[in-house]
Amino acid sequence: MGVEPIIERKRNERSVFSGLVPDLSRPPARAEPGPDHRRRFRTIWISDVHLGTRGCNADMLIDFLDSVDSEVMYLVGDIIDGWRLKKKFYWPAAHNDIVWRILKRAKRGTRIVYIPGNHDEMFRQFTGLNFGGVEIRRAAFHTTADGRRLMVLHGDEFDTVMLAHRWLAFVGDAAYHLLMGLNRWVNAIRNRFDLPYWSLSKMAKHKVKNAVEFISRYEEVVSRAAAERGVDGVVCGHIHTAEIREFDGIEYYNDGDWVEGCTALVEHFDGRMEVLHWADEMRRRDEAQAMQAAAAPPREMAGAA
C-alpha cells in the first residue's frame, strides 16, 4: 500500500517533465554561431539555471553558451526547477534552446556531467545513467590541468534548512520568487534607459546580515567536508553566490547562478580558475564593439581611399 503513492508520484513527474528534451534534428528558435567564434576553456561549471521559471535569465545564458566552449561542462544542479513546474508549467522557447544547446555540445563530443540539485532532485533516481551523452551523477571528482583534485556537488546536502526544515525551504522559495518578480520589473525599467543588468536580490543578500552569515557558514561547512574526503578543493552551487576562497588549505569554488548574478566558473588550460560575471563580460564586449565602430572610417571615405 505504501508503494502506490510512490508509483503515482513517479508517474506525475514523468508527465510533467516529458517533452522537455528537444529534437536535435530540428534547429532551435535562435541559431547558434560556429565553434570557431567561441572562447575556449578546459572546463566550465554552471548551476542554478532554474529553467521553468520566469526568473531564469535565459537570454543571457544563451549568449554565454554561444560565446564559450570547453572540453568538459559540469551542470551543478538546479538546472530545471521541478518545484515550480509542478505548481505551474512554464517553458518558453528560450528554455528549450538552452537544453538544445547543451545536448548539441554532448553530441559534438563535449563531456557533459549533470549533478542534480534539490530543485531537480527528480533526476537523482537516474544517477549512473547516460542520456543523450549527458552523464548523471550524484557527485563527481575533477582533476585540473595542474593536478588538483576537486569534488563537484550541488551543495544542498550541507544546507541545514534543507536538512532539518524542508517546509521552511519551500516557504523561502516562494519569498525568493516574489523578490525575483520585482527584480524583473526593475531590470525592465533599467533596460528602457539603456542601463546594464542589476540584481536586486544579490544586493539584498549582501545587505542582510543573516544572509551573509548563512553564506559564510555554508562555505566553511562545504570546505570542511571536502577536507574530510582528502581532496584539494570543492566546486558547488546552491546558494546563488559565486565565490573563490580558501579555507585551511582547501579551495572553495561556487559557480553562482543564472537567476541573479549570471555567473559561471571556468578552468583555463593551465589549471587557473576564474569566475565569469557574464553581465560584465557582455558590457565590456559591447563597449569594445562601440569603440571599434567609432574608430572605423566612414564607408564613403573608406571607399574613396
190-239 pLDDT per residue, tens:
677 676 665 655 555 555 444 455 677 889 889 999 999 999 999 999 99
Name the one residue in this structure whose C-alpha cell is 516562494.
174
**Span 39-70, pLDDT tens digits:** 999 999 999 999 999 989 999 999 999 999 99
Q: What was the pLDDT predicted at 199?
A: 63
Q: What was the pLDDT predicted at 182?
A: 64
Sequence ranges of the domains in the chain: 10-279
Q: Report the relative pairing of strands 111-114 and 130-131 from DSSP bridges.
A: unpaired
**To which H or E segment does residue 281 belong?**
helix 278-295
Between 78 and 27, the more confident residue is 78
CATH of domain 10-279: 3.60.21.10
Q: Are 162 and 156 in contact (CB under 8 A)?
A: yes
Whether the per-residue pLDDT at 141 is higher than 90: the answer is yes
Of 126-130, 164-168, 179-183, 277-281, least confident by mean pLDDT is 164-168
Bridge partner list, 154:
none
Q: What was the pLDDT predicted at 260?
A: 85
Q: Where residue 16 falls among pLDDT bands split at 50, 70, 90?
A: very low
- Average pLDDT in the 263-288 region? 95
Angle between helices 209-228 and 200-207 (to 10 degrees): 90
Torsion of CA 115, 49, 24, 12, to 10 degrees: 70
**Phi-psi region at 187: left, alpha or beta (left = phi > 0; alpha = psi -120 to 50):** alpha
Whether the per-residue pLDDT at 37 is higher than 70: the answer is yes
pTM for the model stands at 0.77
User: What cell does 126 get?
Assistant: 537516474
d(CA 72, CA 115) in angstroms, rounded, equals 13
Laid out side by side, the sheet with 111-114 consists of: 130-131, 134-136, 111-114, 68-75, 39-46, 263-267, 273-277
